[in-house]
Amino acid sequence: MWRIIVNRLAFGVAIVLLITIVVFGLSRAAGDPRNIYLDEYATPEAWDAWGERMGLDKPLYVQYGVWLWDTLRGDFGESLYYDVPSIRLVRERVPNTLQLGGVAFGVAILIGVPLGVISAVQRGSIIDYGVRGFALLGQSVPVFWIGIMMILIFSLTLGWLPSSRNEGWQHFIMPSIALGWLPAAGLMRITRGAMLNVLDSEYIKLARAKGVSSGKIIWSHGFRNAIIPPLTVAALIFAAFLTGTVVIETVFAWPGVGRLAVQSIKNNDFPVLSAIVILFSSFYILLNLIVDLLYAQLDPRIRLD
């Protein structure tokens, strides 16, 4: 087990290092960054001052080494647009993204997993076709269209719910449903497929022959052995939610990390964007490590291997 953990950690560190190289390389792909931040009226003194401030007067490998060391210490530099530390901007937006992502993840799990189990148990019935129709609709309709339609109906026409910002529990309803719609459909299909494979297994037939109750067969024997594929998808969904949901945060003007990333791109604010990419890439890799360890706890075959 410890060997697996060490190998996964080493692989994760290598991936993060590769991400830093890509992020730094993209920042220099268009040439000297001063060409973006300074106009044609900048004096040679201002040009040299900016170069010294940003370390652009040093060789490229030295610039990367300095930037990487600062990044490892959590210093991503000052925001070029807001003129405050980049990490401070990200830290201020993270709670909003965590709250919305947590609620949307709960919506996706509570809808997708039970419907997947019901569809598998009721295979071939009208319930199965209805649930599969919901999954097809959920995966074919764009989430931004769902968000816009919800704002049009429930905010502008009926006036039931607020359309933007984060100022109370009412503001979570539409963004969380719009955000959890697509993942719920995907989880339903994955859960249904995994349950069908398990329910057709020989040990399930043996349990039925022994007279084991349907509830125990479905949940104790079936769902427990079919949980790994849904768990994998759920982990990726959870990581995506917590690393910023760009489309939904933009549609609902949600003050989260995803919207901050869009604003940073528009403003050419590289320090803020690099902080978002590196921090949440690291979180994504860490979450995948946790899921790998959960596999070993849920499936003894993986633990023995």
Angle between helices 86-121 and 270-298 (to 10 degrees): 40
**Angstrom distance (rounded) from CA 167 to CA 118:** 36
Tokens of 283: 């979180």
Residue 12 lies inside a defined structural domain of this protein:
no
Residue 67 lies inside a defined structural domain of this protein:
no
Express each pLDDT in 68-121 by its tens digit.
888 888 888 788 778 888 888 888 888 888 888 888 888 889 988 888 888 888
Tokens of 8: 């996964």
- pLDDT: is 159 or 31 the higher one? 159
Tokens of 225: 């052995």
For residue 219, give the CATH number of its domain.
1.10.3720.10
**Residues paired with residue 279 on neighbouring β-strands, in sequence order:** none
Question: Within 122-201, where are the H helices?
Answer: 126-140, 143-150, 170-199
Q: How many domains does the chain have?
A: 1
Residue 88 lies inside a defined structural domain of this protein:
no
pLDDT at residue 244, rounded to an integer: 56
Determine the longest span between alpha carbons in the chain, in angstroms: 87
> What's the Cα-to-Cα distance from 137 to each of 99, 143, 171, rounded to whole Å?
26, 11, 25
Residue 290 lies inside a defined structural domain of this protein:
no
Tokens of 215: 């509830």
Mean pLDDT of 127-153: 85
Residue 197 lies inside a defined structural domain of this protein:
yes
Q: How confident is the model at residue 249 (pLDDT cuts 50, 70, 90)?
A: confident
Model confidence at 57: pLDDT above 80:
no
Q: Dihedral angle at the C-alpha atoms of 132, 136, 138, 141, nearest 10 degrees?
A: -160
> What's the Cα-to-Cα distance from 37 to each of 30, 54, 78, rounded to whole Å?
12, 11, 14
Q: Is 78 helix (H, G, I), strand (E, B) or coil?
A: strand
Cβ contact 138:181 at 8 Å: yes
Q: How confident is the model at residue 1 (pLDDT cuts 50, 70, 90)?
A: low
State the residue range of the domain holding 158.
93-256
DSSP-derived letter for residue 217 is I
**Residues paired with residue 85 on neighbouring β-strands, in sequence order:** 78
Residue 50 lies inside a defined structural domain of this protein:
no
**Angstrom distance (rounded) from CA 259 to CA 245:** 8
Cβ contact 248:178 at 8 Å: yes
Residue 269 lies inside a defined structural domain of this protein:
no
Residue 21 lies inside a defined structural domain of this protein:
no
Indicate the average pLDDT of the chain. Answer: 80
Mean pLDDT of 229-234: 81
Cβ contact 295:44 at 8 Å: no
**Angstrom distance (rounded) from CA 14 to CA 26:** 18
